Amino acid sequence: MEKENLTVVTEFILLGLTQSQDAQLLIFVLVLVFYLIILPGNFLIIFTILSDPGLTAPLYFFLGNLAFLDASYSFIVVPRMLVDFLSEKKVISYRSCITQLFFLHFFGAGEMFLLVVMAFDRYIAICRPLRYSTVMNPRTRYALLLALWLGGFTHSIVQVALILHLPFCGPNQLDNFFCDVPQVIKLACPDTFIVELLMVSNSGLLSLLCFLGLLASYAVILCHIRKYSSEGKNKAISTCTTHIIIVFLMFGPAIFIYTRPFQAFLADKIVSLFHTVIFPLMNPVIYTLRNQEVKASMRKLLSQHMVF
C-alpha cells in the first residue's frame, strides 16, 4: 500500500516573487530593462579587456573573468524568471531544477573564489610590489583561474550530490522564483536536519570564512597603504574600496541565505533577487566606473566602432 500511495515528484511549481499581477508586471519591466542595459555592458567590459593591449595586467585579467562569471550567474536565473512572469503556471522539471541549482552554485562559488584571488593580487601588488611581476606571472594567473573553477565545481557537485539522494514524494511547490538549496530541501520526504547541517557547512560556513578572510586581508592592505605618497595612496585606496564594496554585495546576501537553518523569512525573496539578478550584473560595472584605464579604453573602443 505504501508503494502504491508513493508519488515521485517529477516537477516543481515555482510560486514566484509575488502573487500580485500588477507587481509581477512592474518587476518584469524593471528587471528586463535593467538586464538589457547592464548585460551588454558586461560583455563590453570583456571585449574591451581582450582587445586592448594596454589592459594586460593581472587586475584586468581577473576583472574580465569577473564580468564573465557574473553574466553567466545571472543568465542561470533571469531569462527563465522573465518567462515565468508571463506564464500562468510556473513549472520546472526536476532535472531542470537540479541543473539550475548546480550552475547557480558553480558560478557563485567560482566568483567567491575569484574575489579571494583578486584580494591576493592586490596584496602582492601593494604590499610586495617588487615581487609582483614575478609572483603574478601568466602561469600563476591561469593556475589560479583553474583552481577557482575547480573549487566552484567541487562546491556545486557536493550540493547536488546531497540533494540527489533525497526522495521527493510530497508537496512540489517551491516558494521562490528559482531552484535553490533551502527551498528544495524542505520538500524532501525524510527528515533533512543532517543534510541541512551539511549544506550550511558547505555554503554558509565557506561564505562566512571567505568574507572574514577578505575583510582581514583588505585591513592589512589599507594599513600598508599609509606608507604611500598621496597620489599612490589615493589610487590604491580607490581600488581597495571598490573591492570591499563588491565583497559586501556578494557575501552579504549569501551569508544571510546560507548561514542559518533553512527557515523562511519575509526578506528571503528580496535578498535572493538582489543576490542572483541585480548585484551580479552590477559588480563589473562598479569596478569599471572606478577604473580610469578601463573607462578610457572603453571610450576609445566605442569611438572606433561608432557608426554615424
Per the CB < 8 A criterion, the answer to whether 80 and 97 are in contact is: no
Residue whose entry in the numeric block shows the C-alpha cell 518587476: 27
Q: Say if 303 falls within a structural domain.
A: no
> SS3 for 226?
coil
CA 19 – CA 41 distance, rounded (Å) = 32
pLDDT at 117: 94
Burial of 198 (0-12, 13-18, 19+ CB in 10 A): middle
Q: Say if 134 falls within a structural domain.
A: yes
Angle at 16 between CA 13 and CA 18, to 5 degrees: 135
Q: Which three cell numbers stand for residue 82?
A: 522573465
Q: Say if 300 falls within a structural domain.
A: no
pLDDT at 229: 67
pLDDT at 262: 63
Label residue 16 left, alpha or beta by phi (over 0 means left) and psi (-120 to 50 means alpha): left
pLDDT at 308: 44
Q: Say if 283 falls within a structural domain.
A: yes
Q: Say if 85 falls within a structural domain.
A: yes
Sign of CA dihedral 272, 274, 278, 279: negative
Per the CB < 8 A criterion, the answer to whether 49 and 294 are in contact is: yes
Mean pLDDT by 10 residues, the chain (308 residues): 55 87 88 84 86 87 90 88 86 92 93 92 89 92 95 93 85 87 86 82 88 92 78 76 86 87 76 84 74 81 67
pLDDT at 138: 92
Q: Say if 308 falls within a structural domain.
A: no
Cβ neighbours of residue 13 under 8 Å, at least 6 residues apart? 89, 90, 91, 172, 173, 174
- The total number of structural domains that make up the chain: 1
Q: Say if 75 falls within a structural domain.
A: yes
Domain of residue 187, CATH code: 1.20.1070.10
Domain boundaries, position 81: 11-292
> SS3 for 166?
coil
Nearest to 242 by CA among 62, 21, 75, 78: 62
CA 203 – CA 175 distance, rounded (Å) = 20
Q: Say if 88 falls within a structural domain.
A: yes
CA 152 – CA 110 distance, rounded (Å) = 4
